[in-house]
Structure 1
Amino acid sequence: MGHPQANRQAENFNRTLLHGLKTRLHQVRSSWVDELPSVLWSYRTTSRSAIQETPFSLTYGFKAMVPSEFLILSPRMAAFATEINEKERRVDLDLTDEKRDAAAAWVTRTFWLVTIMPELSTFSSAREFWLCEKARLADLSLKAS
């Protein structure tokens, strides 16, 4: 197990995929092979809680459209204007760094909640925790030098 985090991510994806397949198979009673593309599309176009973006939009830079939206005039297509779209794409590109920063902040906050907060609960106070942490860091710096 060289990369435990990668294994957890793969397990999470597999669990989500299996749940989607079971749900679809229960509804339509067909082969899993027939339903796999729609389940994968659903996964790729569903926002994740971490950064409120879909894997599709992170990859391609815009939200996915269902093919039927091109055939039937949907409100989304009716409001489409090439010039405005081009300006909005430039704004989205400018916001890429902000999205990346928001994702990094979420990762930091999650790391804090998962690793640091449980340790805090074993100490009688936050001050006691920080004193122990300071001593541990000092010990590490002595070993490094």
Structure 2
Amino acid sequence: MPYEYEDLDAGRDALRRALALLTDPDPRVREHGAAEVGDCFRRCAGDQDDTETAVARLVTLTVAETDERVRESALNACADAATTYMLPLALFQPLAPLLPDLSAELTGYVLLILGLTHDPAARPIITPYLDHPEASVRLEASDALTELAGRNPKIV
């Protein structure tokens, strides 16, 4: 069971502080901020609305970001959120157009996140990656499709 903040306000404050780092001009600070947001998700900071708002910020950062390490940290935080909370596919759809240009590692993160939504509408986004030249991406696509079919209990 994940650590939970003493109260909702303490969790929200931690999440707000971490999100503020995402706008820093230094990419290492943005990378750290995204990692902190992921920590907040694992500790159940905030409620469903807080989480969806924070994920939307991470997705926006990922789409606009050019630094690979910041993108990786933001996608890792999104995966933490999608593992802990039930999140709609619509939050993550802005990531789909990035897929053809991402590294194998980042592609794997996006496929994992899409699978964690458990939304069958993600299937057409994931399926083409079963034929990807990289074995790791093919495995992530296969795992994501398996996850789509599952209904693992999550904290909401």
The TM tier, using the shorter chain, reads 0.3 to 0.5
Normalized against structure 2, the TM-score is what? 0.31
Normalized against structure 1, the TM-score is what? 0.32
Tell which structure's C-alpha radius of gyration is larger.
Answer: 1
Higher relative contact order, chain-length normalized (CA < 8 Å, sep 6+): 2
